[in-house]
Amino acid sequence: MLSHNYCSSSCAAIVNNQKYPKWPKKFCKVCGKEFKNRESKYCSSKCGWSSFHYSHVPKYSKEQIISAIQKYNSKNGRIPAKRELAEISHKAIHIFGSWNTAVLAAGLTPNRSHDNRMYKRALAIAEDGHKCDSISELIIDNWLAKNKIPHTRDAHYPTTNHKADWTIQNGKVFIEYFGLAKDSPRYDREIKVKKKLCKKNGIKLVEIYPRDLYPATSLNTKLGEFI
């Protein structure tokens, strides 16, 4: 029979608890979930990255974000796209839940609906009266008008129902803003179809992407040859 060093189990527990203390419960600093990793402050790498990301975002108050959106709207006569206020957009999303919610909080109407990024968009009117499907298209249309380049909206591709955002030089050049490239497989298929149609019909296609507009436009480079 094994010998015991303690008179009772309660005495053994007292000594062992002092010798091998239990670690206190730990709770994630981001989501509050209890976890067992003694070395970490977070329950997962996702929460750890989230904490790092937002700790490096400049600290803006709710009022400062609303004021920045309102000032941009007053100065430019339109709602800012998220990328145009990149300095505050991440913090706005963190505070309000989404960029559109922040715009609504500023007393303005978002450029796009909450429900469907691709199909339900609020129209924007360009300086020449053309109806555009987004602020990005409005920027391009205004650039064309400012540089006195005659342009037509929504012209049909040959033999199909596909439409080009703009045509210039009597239909010899099509300009497309592919704002949702890599955002939807269906949209990407449409891009490929339009490229093939232009090649087949001898039409020059000028492709414009968000990177060509934000944070600064490169339209002078993309379209300068047509001035």
SS (H, E, C) 168-219: ECCCCEEEEECCCCCCCHHHHHHHHHHHHHHHHCCCEEEEECHHHCCCCCCH
pLDDT at 120: 44
Return d(Cα 58, Cα 187) in angstroms, integer: 35
Structure tokens that stand for 43 in this block: 């329950």
Among 96, 85, 88, residue whose Cα is nearest residue 59 = 88
153 SS3 class: strand
pLDDT at 163: 94
Do 205 and 195 touch, CB atoms closer than 8 A?
yes
pLDDT at 84: 80
pLDDT at 101: 86
Among 219, 98, 55, residue whose Cα is nearest residue 151 = 219
What number does CATH give the domain 124-226? 3.40.960
pLDDT at 15: 75
Do 73 and 80 touch, CB atoms closer than 8 A?
yes
What is the DSSP secondary-structure string of 92-124?
HHHHHSSHHHHHHHTT---SB-SS-TTT-B--E
pLDDT at 226: 95
Positions of the chain with pLDDT under 70: 1-4, 17, 19-32, 35-43, 45-58, 111-123
- Strand (E) or helix (H) holding 55: helix 45-55
pLDDT at 96: 87
Structure tokens that stand for 54 in this block: 């937002």
Angle at which helices 62-76 and 86-96 cross, to 10°: 130
Spatial neighbors of 5 by CB under 8 A, at least 6 apart, are: 12
Whole-prediction pTM value? 0.56
pLDDT at 47: 67
